[in-house]
Amino acid sequence: MSIHRTLKTGSGIGGTRNVLTRYERILQMESQGRFNEEEDNPVGLPKTRVLKVKKRAKKKKEKEETDES
């Protein structure tokens, strides 16, 4: 079966994933100092947050509005 056209996204790769693989979680925890390869078990890892980067609106529009007033 094929995917319905409303469920397809323009760029499926470009979106942010909210679930990390075990390897990615271990790398993230090692960089934070929360995982030690020799002591900790890689099974049953705690959840790790994935921060989404938001783009700010351009200030150019605000500046133009204040100049016109």
C-alpha to C-alpha distance for 5 and 40, rounded to whole angstroms: 45
Output the CA angle 32-16-60, nearest 5 degrees: 100
In a domain, 32, yes or no: yes
Give the total number of structural domains in the chain: 1
Q: Any alpha helices (H) in the chain, and if so which ranges?
A: 22-32, 59-68
**Any domain includes 54:** no
**Could you read off the pLDDT of 1-43 as tens digits, one per residue?**
788 887 777 665 566 777 889 999 999 999 999 998 888 888 8
Asked, for residue 9, whether it belongs to a domain, the answer is no
Q: Supply the pLDDT for residue 24.
A: 92
In a domain, 38, yes or no: yes
Average pLDDT over residues 58-62: 69
60 domain-assigned: no
What range defines the domain where residue 44 resides?
15-49
